[in-house]
Amino acid sequence: MPLVTCHFSNGAVYEVNADSGRPFLELALEQNVPIRNQCRSGTCLSCLCRGDTAGHALAPQAGRATSLMPMDRAEGKMLCCASEAVSDGALYFDYSSEEAGPTEVQAFVDSIEWIASDAVKLTVELAEGDWLDFRAGQYVEISVPGGGASRSYSMCSAPSELPKLEFMIRVLKSGLMSDYVRGAAKLDDVVRLRGPYGDFAWSGSRRHPHLFIAGGTGLSPICSILQEIRETSGHKPPLKLSLGCASPEALLDPSFLRRLETWMPTLEVNLCVESGAQNGHVNGNALASIDFDALAPDTQAYICGPEGLINAAIDRLLAAGLIPENIHYERFVASGIA
Partner 1 sequence: MSDNQPVRRRAKSGTANTDAVQKEYQPYVDADWGFVNHWYPALFSNELAEGEVEGIQIAGIQIVLRRANGKVYALKDQCIHRGVRLSAKPMCFNKETISCWYHGFTFNLESGNLDTIVGNPDDPLIGNTGLTTYPVEEVAGLIFVFVRADDYPDEDVPPLAQDFPLRFPENSERFPHPLWPAAPSLLDDDVVALGIHRTGEANWRIACENGFDNAHILVHKDNTIVQANNWVLPLGIRPASEDCITVFDDAEGPKGMMQWLFTDRWEPILENKALNVKVEGLNSRLYRTSVILPGVLLVENWPEEGVAQYEWYVPITDDTYEYWEVLVKHCPSDEDKEQFSYRFDTVYQPLALRGFNDCDLHAREAMQDFYADGTGWQREQLVETDISAIMWRKLASRHNRGIAAPPPGAQGRDKASSIRLRNVSEGKSPGYFVEKIDDLNNFNRTSVRQRNK
Ligand X SMILES: Cc1cc2nc3c(=O)[nH]c(=O)nc-3n(C[C@H](O)[C@H](O)[C@H](O)COP(=O)(O)OP(=O)(O)OC[C@H]3O[C@@H](n4cnc5c(N)ncnc54)[C@H](O)[C@@H]3O)c2cc1C
Quick count: other Cβ atoms within 10 Å of Cβ 272?
23
Residue from 3, 127, 296, 333 binding partner 1 (CB under 8 A)? 127
- Write phi, then psi, for 303 (nearest 5 degrees): -125, 135
Helical axes 254-263 vs 219-231, angle rounded to 10°: 20
Judged by CB under 6 A, which stretch of 120-128, 146-154, 201-209, 311-319 contacts ligand X? 146-154
Which of positions 31-70 make contact with ligand FES (CB under 6 A)? 37-40, 42-47
Cβ atoms of residues 106 and 127 within 8 Å: yes
Judged by CB under 8 A, which stretch of 89-97, 103-111, 271-279, 318-326 contacts partner 1? 103-111
Which of positions 142-181 make contact with partner 1 (CB under 8 A)? 163-164
- The edge-to-edge listing of strands for the beta sheet with 77-79 is 13-17, 3-7, 89-92, 48-51, 77-79
Which of positions 65-84 make contact with ligand FES (CB under 6 A)? 79, 81
Residue with Cβ nearer partner 1 (156 or 309): 156
Q: Could you say whether residue 103 binds partner 1 (CB under 8 A)?
A: yes
Q: Could you say whether residue 37 binds ligand X (CB under 6 A)?
A: no
Which of positions 198-257 make contact with ligand X (CB under 6 A)? 198, 217, 220
Considering only CA atoms, give the Rg of the chain. Answer: 25
DSSP states of 5-51? EEE-TTS-EEEEE--TTS-HHHHHHHTT-----SSSSS-S-TTEEEE
Q: Which of partner 1, ligand X, ligand FES, none binds 47 (CB below 5-8 Å, type-dependent)?
A: ligand FES
Cβ atoms of residues 159 and 135 within 8 Å: yes
Judged by CB under 8 A, which stretch of 37-45, 178-186, 300-308, 310-318 contacts partner 1? 37-45
Q: What is the b/e burial string over 32-67, where b = at least 16 CB atoms within 10 angstroms of the residue's CB?
A: ebbbebeebebeeeebbbbbbeeebbbebbeeeebe
- Least Å distance, CB 10 to ligand FES, is 21
- Least Å distance, CB 48 to ligand FES, is 7
Sign of the C-alpha dihedral computed for residues 121, 127, 131 and 132 taken in this order: negative
- Least Å distance, CB 82 to ligand FES, is 6
Query: Could you list the residues that contact ligand FES (CB under 6 A)?
Result: 37-40, 42-47, 79, 81
Query: Could you list the residues that contact ligand X (CB under 6 A)?
Result: 139, 151-154, 167-170, 172, 175-178, 198, 217, 220, 330, 332-336, 338
